[in-house]
Structure 1
C-alpha cells in the first residue's frame, strides 16, 4: 500500500467518518495523486511522518536553543535535558494508523511516554491541520484528559475539526495570526463512490443477502442511494455528540453556549477577533513566545510537584 491507495481506501469506505474540513481532504488527495500508478513509494518520494517530524524538529530546535528552552521528540528518553518540553507536530491529515500522516494511535503512545518521563515538564502541541479520521479520537481525548503535566496548544494557520478536538485540551490555546482558522466542531462522511465508474467499464455488481440478513449494510446502501437519514442518525450524530461533550469538558469557557450555537454546528472562525470572542482560543502569539510560555508552565508545574513532595516529607 502506498499513500494514494491508503487515502483512497479510507475515503471510499462507507464506514469512514471524519472530523475534517474540506480543505484538508483536498490537500491530502492532491499530495498523493502523482502516486496513482506507482506500486512502491520511496522515502524520498513521500517521506514518512516520522521523517517529516525530524525535519520539522530540525527547524524548531535551533530556535529553542537560542531561547535556552529544551524540547524533545524522543519522548521516552532519559537522556534528554531535565525540564524539557515534549514537542508534537500535528500537521496535515490525521489518521488512526498511518506511516505517511499523523497517527492518532502513535500520538497516544507518545503522550503516555512523555508523561511518564521525569525529564519532561510539559506537552507542547504544534497544530497545523484541518482534521481527519474520527475513529480513535475518543481515546486521544481520554489520554489528553488524563495527563497531569500541563499542555500548551499553539496553532499555525489552522486547527479545525479533529485537530481542534486535540488542541482544545491545552490549558492555553493560542494562534499565530489573526487569520488562522479555528473550529469546525462537526462530523461528516466524505466518501468516494466508485460504482458508477465501474459500471461504465462494464463491471456489473451482484449483491444478495440471506433471508434473515435484510439489514446487512442496509444503512450504507441507503446512504449511497440518496436516503442518508439512518446513517446520519446512527453514525454521524453520536460522533458529533462525543465531539461536543469532549470540547465542553476540556474547555469550560464554552459551557455557557447553547447546543444550537454555531460553534457547535461546524462553523469555523478566524482567530481574531471571532475565535477569541467565541472563547475557542485564548489569544495570539508568536511561536517563540508560545514556547517560552509553555516552558514557564512546565517549570511552575515541576516546582509545584517539588513543593508538594517537600510538604509530604514533613507530614
Structure 2
C-alpha cells in the first residue's frame, strides 16, 4: 500500500506535524482522493502504482537542465543527482529536491532519512563542490528533523537553498541551514515556524455504523495514552505542554542558530508565532537572503562552489609546506 505511512501519519493523534494548513489539506487529498460516481462521492483506490520520489527527481533535474540550455551563461554548468558517480566533472552541483509532503521514511515521497544519505554521499564526492537544495513544500513530519539538522551543520561544502512557491514549517526547518537562502518569486510563501497536531476522529462515524470500540487498561496503566485521550476529548493542555511546546522551542532555536539575524527579533515577533510571509517581508525579517531566477540561482551556487574548491586547494597546498 503505497500511501499507508502518510495516511497513518495524518490520522494518528500521536503524530507531531510541522506543516501549513494548505499542505495538510493537500496531503489528505492525496491519501483520500474523492471521485464522482453518479451522485455519490466515493474514495478512489490508492493502490494504483505511482512513480518513486527518486524517479520524479530525475525528471525534475532533466527539465531544469533542458531549461538551462537556453541561457549561454549557465548552459555548461554541471548539475546532477548522481551523487556517488566518479565520472562527474569537477565543480558539479549536487541537486537535491524537496517537493510535497515531508516524511521521515518513504520511497514515494520526500524522505528526510534519504535526503541525509544523499547529502553525505555528495559531501564525500570530491567532484561535487556545492549542495543545491530546491524546496517547494509546506512541511510535514517533525520526527528526525533534529538529526537531519545536525548532519546539515556538519557539512563542509556550501549549501544553496532556493524556495519555489512555498517554504513552510518543516520545509523551512530544513531550508534555514543554507549558507545562501533565496526565493524564486516575490510571491513565494515563507515561514510558518511552529508546531501543530491535526487528525480526524472517526469513532462517532464507526459508532453510527454499529461498530463499537472496546478499550480497557491495566490497573497500573492509568496514564497510558491519557494525554491523547484527553486531547480527543477536548482537554489538550497536557498534550500542548508536553508535546507541541517543546518541539516548537526546538524549532525556534534551530532557525535562530542557522539564521543569526532572526535572533535580533523580539521573542513575540510573528516570525516565531507561526506566521507566513511573502518573499519581500521574509527578506526584511531575515528569513531569506534574496530573490533569484532558477538560472541566477544555479549560476550563483556554481560560483560559490568554485570559491569553495579554490579555498580547499589553497589550504591543501599550504599543508604540503608545513
Q: For this structure pair, what is the TM-score category when the shorter chain's length is used for normalisation?
A: over 0.9
Pair 1:17 & 2:16 matched: yes
Query: Tell me, which stretches of 5 or more residues in structure 1 are unaligned?
Result: none
Q: Which residue of 2 aligns with 1:281?
A: 288
Superimposed CA distance per residue, residues 90-125 of structure 1 (whole angstroms, 9 cap, x where no aligned partner):
111001111221111100010110111111100001
Equivalence map 1:138-149=2 (5 Å): 138-149=146-157
Q: TM-score, normalised by structure 1?
A: 0.95
Q: Which residue of 1 aligns with 2:251?
A: 243
Pair 1:33 & 2:53 matched: no
Compute the displacement of 1:39 (Å): 6.4
Separation of aligned partners in 1, 2:247 and 2:265: 19
Separation of aligned partners in 2, 1:83 and 1:63: 20
Structure 2 CA distance for partners of 1:39 and 1:236, relative to 1, 3 Å: closer
CA contact (8 A) 1:64 1:71 kept: no
CA contact (8 A) 1:64 1:70 kept: no
Pair 1:311 & 2:308 matched: no
Separation of aligned partners in 1, 2:46 and 2:112: 26
Compute the displacement of 1:163 (Å): 0.5
CA contact (8 A) 2:83 2:94 kept: yes
Superimposed CA distance per residue, residues 194-231 of structure 1 (whole angstroms, 9 cap, x where no aligned partner):
11111111111111111111000000000000000000
Separation of aligned partners in 2, 1:12 and 1:29: 9
Superimposed CA distance per residue, residues 118-162 of structure 1 (whole angstroms, 9 cap, x where no aligned partner):
111000010110010000110111111111000001011010100
Equivalence map 1:50-129=2 (5 Å): 50-64=54-68, 67=74, 68-129=76-137
Count of matched residue pairs:
310
Q: Which residue of 2 aligns with 1:267?
A: 275
Cα RMSD for the two superposed structures: 1.3
Q: Which residue of 1 aligns with 2:38?
A: none
